[in-house]
Structure 1
Amino acid sequence: MPRWSAEYSASRGDEHRRCALSEPTTDGRRLKGERRRQELIEATLRVVARDGASGVTHRTVAREAGLPTTASTYYFAGIDDLLCAALTSVMDKDAARVQRLTAETETLEEGLRGLAEMMADSAADPADRLADNELYLLAARRPELREPVRRWLEAVAAFARRHTDDPMRVRLFVGALDGLCLQSLLVERPPTVREFEAMLRELLPG
């Protein structure tokens, strides 16, 4: 083998070894960054549930997460970015649950039962639901935050459209479901699964 070929092969081998060594480090840093970002989002939701959206600052979120303030400013340039990430997290999680119900249940009865269980689970954890609604109402004043809300509403509408072709009933179902979730925060005893299911059945009789 010519000398230059041997040198080239050796240099390429060194390069591959460097890449092989750096890839796990890069992956590890990315995973750590994603984990830290999620911790900050969850901390934001806890602050919103306790103090409202107005209580969200880089300092309060970082303190809630047990991280330095610089961590919050590193991953989120401004408070709007934190609020948008928190709203997106909760709306997309709820939308995904409804989408799974729509795809995996075969009958209206199964779907309504699953939706009632989801609503009862949510009502049983008022802190989480309070944070959801704080951010939901914030989107009413901030158009730039409305896209995650739109995805949630569309997921509920898609569920209803699977069982009715009446557009007015679809709109009624979507609006009433939101109202039932909000009302569950204001009563001493939130509805049970059976009660939620009975109300949903009145809205979407099939």
Structure 2
Amino acid sequence: MNQPTTDGRRAKGLRRRRALIEATLRVIEREGVAGVSHRTVSREAGLPTSATTYYFTGLGDLLTAALTTVMEEDSERMRQLSSEGDRRRELALLLSEVAKEPGRLLAEYELFLLAARQPHLRSATDGWLGAVSAFARCYTDDPVRARIVAGAIDGLLLHSLLTDKKPNAAEFEAILFDLLPLRDEHS
């Protein structure tokens, strides 16, 4: 009989934890990683400051959760595109949508750089790189080309943060079609 209460509390806890992660991403979008504090995140989430320390052991744990969450979500979207058939146009459309909303992208790359400085965070970024590589392997067996594709995607998205004119789906598509011709296109 106590099960529904426990399930309700657990669901509420998961919603609060997610709200704190999303709030962390919004703070990073505006102020960078340096702007993340218990107070700024809890205020952004509309929760008491004690919530951040209840759900996370410290700011490092909160940043790790934010990094892991965004990388896992991005990796899963990329893995879904690694199924049968030609999915290059779908990836081009996804990349153009991501480039149009630079706030989250900026937060993701801030967290990516944090992982570069803190090796224990790299398992999340490895998941992203693995998903991009799996997508590339749908079109090529060349490991060098797969790395080039991963670098091109991240480079293009980073460049999109530096300009007001965001690349559209057609531009991403042209690049993907050049980097990843269908196997029978290059024989």
TM-score tier, shorter chain, comes to over 0.9
1:134 matched to 2:110? The reply is yes
Question: Deviation digits for residues 22-45 of structure 1, max 9, x if unmatched?
Answer: 100000000000000000000000
Q: 1:175 aligns with which of 128, 131, 151?
A: 151
Letter in 2 for 1:169: R
Aligned-pair distance for 1:90? 0.7
Q: 2:164 aligns with which of 188, 191, 198?
A: 188
Aligned-pair distance for 1:168? 1.1
Counterpart secondary structure, 2:82: helix
**Aligned-partner Cα distance in 1 for 2:49–2:113:** 27
Letter in 2 for 1:164: T
Letter in 2 for 1:42: E
Structure (1 or 2) with the larger CA radius of gyration: 1
- In the comparison of the two structures, how many residue pairs are matched? 182
Residue 42 (structure 1) aligns with: 22
Counterpart secondary structure, 1:33: helix
TM-score (norm 2): 0.95
Letter in 2 for 1:119: L
Question: Deviation digits for residues 97-156 of structure 1, max 9, x if unmatched?
Answer: 1111112x412xxx1111111111111111111111111111111111111100000000
Q: 2:85 aligns with which of 103, 106, 111?
A: 106
Aligned-pair distance for 1:196? 0.6
Tell me which protein shows more helix as a share of its residues: 1
Question: Deviation digits for residues 30-88 of structure 1, max 9, x if unmatched?
Answer: 00000000000000000001010011111110011011000110000110101000011
**Aligned-partner Cα distance in 2 for 1:41–1:89:** 8
Letter in 2 for 1:93: E
Counterpart secondary structure, 1:102: coil
Residue 200 (structure 1) aligns with: 176
**Aligned-partner Cα distance in 2 for 1:77–1:188:** 38
**Aligned-partner Cα distance in 2 for 1:150–1:46:** 23
% identical aligned pairs = 56
Question: Equivalent residues in 2 for 1:26-175 (5 A)?
Answer: 26-103=6-83, 105-107=84-86, 111-175=87-151
Letter in 2 for 1:136: F
**Aligned-partner Cα distance in 1 for 2:56–2:140:** 42
**Aligned-partner Cα distance in 2 for 1:172–1:150:** 16
TM-score (norm 1): 0.86
